[in-house]
Chain A
Amino acid sequence: MNRLPSIFMILAAASLSLLFFFPMWKIYLDAPQYPEGLEMHIWINKIGGDSEFTLQNFNILNHYIGMAPIDANSFKELEIMPLFAFGFIGTALLLALFPKRGLIMTWLVLLALAGIAGISDFYLWLVKFGTDLDPSAPIKVPGMTYIPPLIGSKQLLNFHAFSFPSIGGAGIGLAMLFGALAFWKTYAKKIKKEEI
């Protein structure tokens, strides 16, 4: 009996569970007076940083340009996304028990859609924070907005911002890869059966 699809689905579930141990995304800020850098970590269920005070320090710096303070409690997403992750982990484990080809495909498509939705939502937040600035901000540079890059780097006044997915985010990619492998293996099995 071919156990590979089940093993791949278990690996997919394990990859998704990385979301609860590592940030999905990291935004690094570098400035002359921050040689040690400032790192904001976006998790599936919280916003943090390389130190517990990172968010406060981000907000102190951001208030000069009129950016709204980032407050983890104001993001509904941080409550909803973990539920989705649990759902995908649970269904992946169920599919490991019953590796049905069509269901695996469905799981894969839904995960991809959820991932796209997550990234889109993240980007919309970046745009909102970067452009919806307090008109009474002390520092106003005409024409300047402060949308951090989704992926890659960008100069924002004295700060050089870098943004990249982190291990948690990579876990989603890995889960999709393992899901695809599982799908491929069930497909291979089916062809074999038809040949006999």
Chain B
Amino acid sequence: MTSCNVKSKGSPDGTDDAARKVYVAPGEHDEFYAFLSGGFNGQVSVYGMPSGRHLKMIPVFSQHAENGYGYSEESKALLNTTYGNIPWDDLHHPKLSRTDGMADGRFLFVNGNNTPRIARIDLTTFETVETLEIPNSAGNHCSPYPTNNTEYVVAGTRFSVPISDEGGIEDIELEKLNEYYRGSISFIKVDDKSGEMDLEFQILVPGFDYDIANGGKGPSEDWIFFTAYNSEQATTLKEVNASLHDKDFVAAINWKKAAEYVKQGKYREIPAEYFHNKMDKKTHVASSEVKKKVKVISPEECPDIMYLIPTPKSPHGVDVDPSGEFICVSGKLASMVPVHSFSNMLKAIENKDHVDVFESIPILKYESVLAAEVKDIGLGPLHTEFDGKGNAYSSMFVSSEIVKWRLKDFEILDRIPVYYSVGHLMIPGGDTHKPDGKYLVAMNKITKDRYLPTGPELCHSAQLIDISGDKMKMLLDFPTIGEPHYAQAIKADIVAPKSKKIYRLDENEHPHATLKEADTRVERDGNIVRVYMTAIRSHLAPDNIEGIHLGDTVYFHVTNLEQDWDVPHGFAVKGARNAEILIMPGETKTLEWIPTKTGVTPFYCTDFCSALHQEMQGYARVSPEGANVPIKYWLGDPKK
């Protein structure tokens, strides 16, 4: 009974062998960093691979009460948008920055799907340092895609919307929606040195739904491919009405040509309001800039930047093989994977092998571009990655399996069940021209009986599969945080040596930093009380404060004076309608506290920093409004 049950759950054959392959002994390090998106939790989770150990959660688009991200005065601005400060988003796709087509370990770009945004995470600190709102977009799903030298990060819309030439999204009758709506593909220039983003231009494209983007490499380096579904341009009951056509499209866009057109001045500038939020490296304070305009180009005015390739059926993933020749598309309602040939595509363009034109965009002939159809591959193909040894691996959502097939002859070689309903899959470097074909991670939407039940809400999961041999071998299951849509992995030795240990106190230019204990003080300016506090093992200075009144807004500017690795201090105030803050060595962070009750209010360090951490505490006295209690503060003895 037990053995039968185990077998039906697909446990690896030769469990000991699998255990050895994922066992990273205590104190030893994993071979890879894996960055898994958190989906609806708006964060990125960092795992060690192959152990599946969770190393860190990087807050990006969601407030993170654990360390004060999005709550502290310094980080609030990173969540600013034209809709206001938004404490949540749906984070789908992490993509590592690239140099010469290979992940370089400098930055991780991620998309916010719901309120269109792109964020950049610095991999020396594993912190979000920049967010950029994308105007004229809705459902920022087919993004981010970095070009091979991170010249651009590209972001596309899932929902097409009525983009107004006068700026913004128009208010029009929904019944007429499909007459007006358009999609946008945004090209975000990335600064070579700083990594800073700048929305350089947008291509306004036909009103389909754009789903996934991936770029070429080698011969196809200048191109990016987008899957486009809802070629029916339905606006209601899309489940049915967007599934009518036998074929939708892959949109091939020549980004180099598009950038050249912009350089030649063939663009229009239209009003567009969007936020650009940056964390200053020296002050560690994020600030927002509101941009007012965006350059747009259209395929009509700039011919030969965009072509449509008919592709069955409601295609989802589009993945280019390491050679740059094969464009593998997963038609989620098709039971085969069509593989387009880049060289065929160029020929078809040259020969004007068009079957039609859609709003001036040539539609190439399916048969002329196609290299092959991988038949009977499974049900619900979604994504494909590559091992660099001539093989492709496709995820099957409906039939819950990973299917290995050969690019040489499009033959299916192997299949392995996954548990259950796999979405994305990831091979380290599997989207670059030189994959590291040792492991594959399947990211599953449904887990049901795979773990101990936890009530109606269950975790999503990742499964680690050994792809080093002929046959795929299941090695490990591990629960994930949120919903991992996609992931990236990189050899640890590219990232780990650059990981920062502390922030230098002598480089701290925070406007409210207190660089030594002698400078700690409390200042009143009208109703604003600023506490310039320091934290060091094991005391807060000052630790007793009087003279705060109801009606005041108190800012605790806490500087961690430590310059030693792994000595953060935390800070929390009783009754603060806020979160705590975690302050890294050398950093200054600010907690806003608007007292709501009179009395004596304790505050303390929340991160067990030292043997006398429990002594790291103090009191704030809150007096009634207008009471005659002057500002006074202590550390040991009263200070003036």
**Residues of chain A having any CB pair with chain B under 8 Å:** 36, 53, 56-57, 60, 64, 138-139
Contacts and interface: CB of A to CB of B under 8 A. Distances in A.
A34 B537 CA distance: 16
B564 A57 contact: yes
Contact of B564 (A60, A64, A138): A60
A53 B611 contact: no
A138 B612 contact: yes
A53 B563 contact: yes
Contacts of B537: 60
Interface residues of B, number: 11
B612 A57 contact: no
B611 A139 contact: yes
B611 A64 contact: yes
Contacts of B564: 53, 56-57, 60
Contacts of A139: 611
B563 A56 contact: yes
A56 to B, nearest CB: 6
- Most chain B CB within a 10 A radius of its CB, from A36, A53, A56, A139: A53
Contacts of A56: 563-564
14 contacts: A36-B565, A53-B502, A56-B564, A57-B563, A60-B536, A60-B537, A60-B562, A60-B564, A64-B611, A64-B612, A138-B538, A138-B611, A138-B612, A138-B615
Q: Closest 10 interchain pairs by CB? A: A53-B563, A57-B564, A60-B537, A138-B612, A56-B563, A53-B564, A60-B536, A64-B611, A57-B563, A64-B612
Interface of B: 502, 536-538, 562-565, 611-612, 615
Nearest to A60: B537
A136 B552 CA distance: 37
A139 B610 CA distance: 12
Given A57-B564, A60-B536, A64-B611, 15 more contacts: A36-B565, A53-B563, A53-B564, A56-B563, A56-B564, A57-B563, A60-B537, A60-B562, A60-B564, A64-B612, A138-B538, A138-B611, A138-B612, A138-B615, A139-B611
Nearest to B612: A138
Contacts of A64: 611-612
Contacts of B563: 53, 56-57
B487 to A, nearest CB: 30
A191 B564 CA distance: 62
A143 B468 CA distance: 62
A54 to B, nearest CB: 9
A138 B538 CA distance: 10
Nearest to A63: B537
Nearest to A52: B563
B113 to A, nearest CB: 41
Contacts of A57: 563-564
A53 B504 CA distance: 10
Nearest to B611: A64
A56 B564 CA distance: 9
Contacts of A53: 502, 563-564
Nearest to B566: A33
A48 B383 CA distance: 55
Residue from A57, A60, A139 having most chain B Cβ neighbours under 10 A: A60
A139 B612 CA distance: 10
B553 to A, nearest CB: 33
A103 B619 CA distance: 70
B586 to A, nearest CB: 10
A36 B566 CA distance: 12
Contacts of A138: 538, 611-612, 615
Nearest to B27: A35
Contacts of B615: 138
Nearest to B536: A60
Contacts of B611: 64, 138-139
A125 to B, nearest CB: 24
Contacts of A36: 565
Nearest to B564: A57
A53 B536 CA distance: 14
Contacts of A60: 536-537, 562, 564
A139 B538 CA distance: 12
A172 to B, nearest CB: 32
A56 B506 CA distance: 13
A136 to B, nearest CB: 10
Contacts of B612: 64, 138
A53 B538 CA distance: 18
B610 to A, nearest CB: 8
B505 to A, nearest CB: 9
A64 B564 CA distance: 16
A60 B562 CA distance: 9
A112 to B, nearest CB: 40
Nearest to B501: A51
A184 B37 CA distance: 75
A157 B321 CA distance: 59
